[in-house]
Amino acid sequence: MTPLALAIIVFGLALIGWLAARMRAATFRPPGHARFTALPVHYGYFVAICALVPPLVFLAVWSLTAPALVTDTVLATPAAAALPPPGFERASILSEARALGAGRSHGAFHDLAAQLAPAYAAAQTRYDWIATAVALLLAFAGGGLAFTRVRPDFAARTQVERVVMLLLLAASLIAILTTVGIVASLLYESSRFFRIVPIGDFLFGTHWSPQVIDPRDLGASLGAVPLFWGTFFIGAVIAMAVAIPFGLMSAIYLTQYAHAATRAWLKPVIEMLAGVPTVVYGYFAALTVAPAVREVGVALGIANASSESALAAGAVMGIMIIPFVSSMADDSIAAVPAAMRDGSLAMGATPSETIRRVILPAALPGVVGGILLAVSRAIGETMIVVMAASGVATLTANPFASTTTVTKQIVDLLTGEAEFDSAKTLAAFALGLTLFVITLALNVVALSVVKRYREAYE
């Protein structure tokens, strides 16, 4: 029986249980003045939950253990005695036999795999039938037991609501699980990387060339300082040089000068910049901006102006960040008490003097927090630099020269043709861990700055 058919049957049983319990509960009459604690529909849900949860839990556990059981059964057959000792060859024969048995492939590379395939098919079928029978039995037993409890004095609602609360709690725990998953997978893979490459070489080495790795001294060509510098230069210097003036001035203009009607349509237009997918920015940067930047560089007399310059990637990234800076600045300007602004204007200051001397200093913590968040977003941005920045790591402060970033290198390392355990792929995880730690720190600092500042005015 296919998993889909099994699922339909189990859900069908639950539906039948729901209907039956509801109909039975609907016939209850309250004895005397006693009141029910539950509606008929609660009895329905109670029975449905009891019929659904045990088989689903069983199937979840089963799907994790069944492959091992099937393999054990196959290994017990006489044909398996000819298998080579545990190792790569044995595993490949077994996985081939499994694919043959399941009908997913048709030709066998090893003769032994073809011999084992029928055993696999038989074992799989047998265990599938066991799973189906147990799941149906659990569904009947759970639903039946629950149905016997459908009585007027049974508080079905309390039971159902307890399950609902558990479900809600489980849903919010997914967030913690994801965070733990990210931290654990990055730490695990990185620790494997740092076992073969000294952590000092990685963090402080100034030479990065993963294309040509010397197997005797891995650390010599995996020093990430040029990447950190490139990321900082593109994301925190060039991009911010574009995003801060434009974002801040737009926010000031839209909140302090523009008419409400103008603001109503200009603000969404600016925010559309944030809705454009990064791959579109990347294409735009690579195809339109980068050649233009190179020509400007050549015209300025810079000999090594690259067509994969840091300036092109950084400037386009800055444009992408404008709405982000703008809306953060907007929020913190709006949080400045109106009395401060009115007082300044009443003393005869012009609006621009009020903004520069009163509003901006008062809003500064919020603006700085917003800029830190913008930096964290810029250094984590991937597609623009993948498409427009260079893959060659150089330590340079020349915006027309080519630079690379951490994110670009992660993509390059993981989309190559390397096996999963090589130093290259593990290096990508170490870079990912660094990126995660830095963005996390920036976010924590930024949020605490913004929060403390909000409290100051409340």
Partner 1 sequence: MNNPRQPTDWTAAAVARRTRRRYAAERRFRLAGLAAVWLSAAFLAWLLASMVWQGTSGFRQTRITLPIDLAAAPLPVTPAQLRGRGADLALAGAGLDALVDRAAVRTLGPGGDALISDGAWLVVRDAIKRDPALLHRRFTIAVPAASAIDVAAKHDGTPAAEAMVATLDARGLLGIGWSGGFLTAADSTDSTRVGIWGALKGSLLTMAVTLALAFPIGVLAALYLEEYAPRNRWTDLIEVSINNLAAVPSIIFGLLGLAVFLGTFHLPRSAPLVGGLTLALMTMPVIVITGRNAIKAVPPSIRDAALAVGASPVQVVFDHVLPLALPGILTGTIIGMARALGETAPLLMIGMRAFIASPPGRLTDPATVLPVQIFLWSDDIDRGFIEKTSAAIIVLLVVLLAMNGIAIYLRNRFETRW
Nearer to partner 1, 138 or 359 (CB): 359
Q: Rank residues 249 and 456 by Cβ distance to partner 1 and give the closer one.
A: 249
Between CA 410 and CA 406 the distance in angstroms is 6
Residue closer to partner 1, measured from CB, 284 or 400: 284
Q: What SS3 state is found at 360?
A: helix
| CB nearer to partner 1: pick between 147 and 253 | 253
Contacts of 340 (CB under 8 A, 6+ apart): 358, 359, 362
CB closer to partner 1, 115 vs 434? 434
* CA atoms of 258 and 323, how far apart (whole Å): 17
CA distance 228 to 208: 11
Q: Give Cβ neighbours of residue 145 (< 8 Å, ≥ 6 apart).
A: 50
Taking a C-beta distance cutoff of 8 angstroms, is the pair 245, 238 a contact? no
Cα distance between residue 148 and residue 316, in whole Å: 67
Dihedral sign from CA coordinates of 218, 219, 225, 228: positive
Query: How far is it, in rounded angstroms, from Cα 360 to Cα 372?
Result: 17
From the CB of residue 160, how many other CB atoms can be counted at a distance below 10 Å?
21
Q: With beta carbons less than 8 A apart as the criterion, state whether 293 and 309 touch.
A: yes
Nearer to partner 1 (CB atom), residue 120 or residue 324: 324
Q: How far is the CB of 103 from partner 1 (least distance, A)?
A: 15
E strand intervals along 224-353: none
Query: What is the rounded CA–CA span in Å between residue 443 and residue 374?
Result: 9
Report in angstroms how near the CB of residue 303 gets to partner 1 at its nearest.
26
Shortest Å, Cβ 144 to partner 1: 26
Closest CB to partner 1 among 143 and 318? 318
- Angle between the N-to-C axes of helices 406-414 and 360-380, in degrees from 0 to 180, rounded to the nearest 10: 20
Nearer to partner 1, 304 or 350 (CB): 350
Contacts of 6 (CB under 8 A, 6+ apart): 59, 131, 132, 135
Tokens representing 119 are: 């055993």
Minimum separation from the CB atom of position 138 to partner 1 (A): 24
Residue 93 or 435: the one with the smaller Cβ distance to partner 1 is: 435
**Minimum separation from the CB atom of position 79 to partner 1 (A):** 25
Least Cβ distance, residue 153 to partner 1 (angstroms): 18
CB of 71 to partner 1, least distance (A): 14
Residue 156 φ/ψ, nearest 5 degrees = -65, -35
Cβ 270 to partner 1, closest distance in Å?
Answer: 5
Q: Taking the complex as a whole, how short is the minimal distance between the CB of residue 256 and partner 1, in angstroms? A: 8
| For partner 1, the closer CB: 50 or 138 | 50
* Cβ 4 to partner 1 shortest distance, Å: 12
Q: Rg for the chain (alpha carbons), in Å? A: 32
Q: Nearest Cα to 232, choosing from 458, 440, 420, 403? A: 403
Tokens of 417: 């043709």
